[in-house]
Chains A and B, each alone.
Chain A
Amino acid sequence: QLSSLIKQIEEDIQSLTNAYNSLKSASNKFSEAGQALTDFNSSNEGKPIFVPLTSSLYVEGRMANVDKVLVDIGTGYYVEKTVPAAQEYTERRAKDITSKAEQLQKSIESKRRNLI
């Protein structure tokens, strides 16, 4: 009976760790997006760019607007924001997710201690 309890806790730890990893990678994606935005500055105006039409077809174009970007906030809603506002958004989301990941890490630790 004890051994099945141990197995249960180990499985819990495994699934919690998986959740922690996916939170971490989501947070990374947001910080990468924020990083990409810093390259989105005024020197890029008018520069030639490649615009994806499909996942394998790109069309040559020119950079028209470097001030505003569309931000996906979930459930199919997009909001137009200025670049600094969008950067602040990505920072905020990344911080939120990292703090949730830290909470998860604490529960993982306490479960591990219970195991011992």
Chain B
Amino acid sequence: YGVVRLHMSNPQRAALQQQLEGEAQEFQKISREIEKLTLNRQKLIAQLTENDLVKKELSMLEDDASVYKLIGPVLCKQDPQEAQANVNKRIEYITNEVKRVNTLLGDIEKKHVEKRKRIMEMQAKLQQIK
């Protein structure tokens, strides 16, 4: 009896094991995505803080102060109002980018948790068949 049962569940086990490996690989892929997104988010937040700083400095200037912008190797004179408008626009853009990355990160983390649950269920099933 025992021998017959073992032969019957072997291909079943092999299929389950292959499935498990596939799920594990996808899990790794999701982990890497999470790492990439987190790094991206940190970079964006650093840019945001830097731009906030520039905005503060510009707002403290008198209206007749000279502002210069570094464009490649050239330092060009800029109108202070224009500079402030540019920095504000950049801050808005970066804030939106951060929001976008945050939502993406939330979604992918949910997928991550589900994947982990699936993998543990499959591992438990595999143990039972053994």
The A interface is mostly helix, strand or loop, or mixed, namely strand
**What is the CB-to-nearest-CB distance from A23 to chain B, in angstroms, rounded to a whole number?**
13
Tell me whether A79 and B51 are in contact (CB under 8 A).
no
Residue B67 is within 8 A (CB to CB) of chain A in the complex? yes
Count A-side interface residues using an 8 Å CB cutoff.
11
Which size bracket describes the interface of B in this complex?
A: 20 to 34
* Inter-chain residue pair count (beta carbon < 8 A): 47
Tell me whether A78 and B75 are in contact (CB under 8 A).
yes
Tell me whether B53 and A78 are in contact (CB under 8 A).
no
B71 CB contacts on chain A under 8 angstroms: 76
Residue B4 is within 8 A (CB to CB) of chain A in the complex? no
Q: Complex Cα distance A79/B68, Å? A: 6
Q: Complex Cα distance A77/B65, Å? A: 13
Binding stretch for chain A, among B7-15, B20-28, B54-62, B105-113: B54-62
**What is the CB-to-nearest-CB distance from A67 to chain B, in angstroms, rounded to a whole number?**
13
Contact string against B for A residues 68-97, beta-carbon threshold 8 Å, 1 for contact and 0 otherwise: 001001111111110000000100000000
B58 CB contacts on chain A under 8 angstroms: 73, 77, 79
A81 CB contacts on chain B under 8 angstroms: 65
Tell me whether A73 and B69 are in contact (CB under 8 A).
no
Tell me whether A77 and B83 are in contact (CB under 8 A).
yes
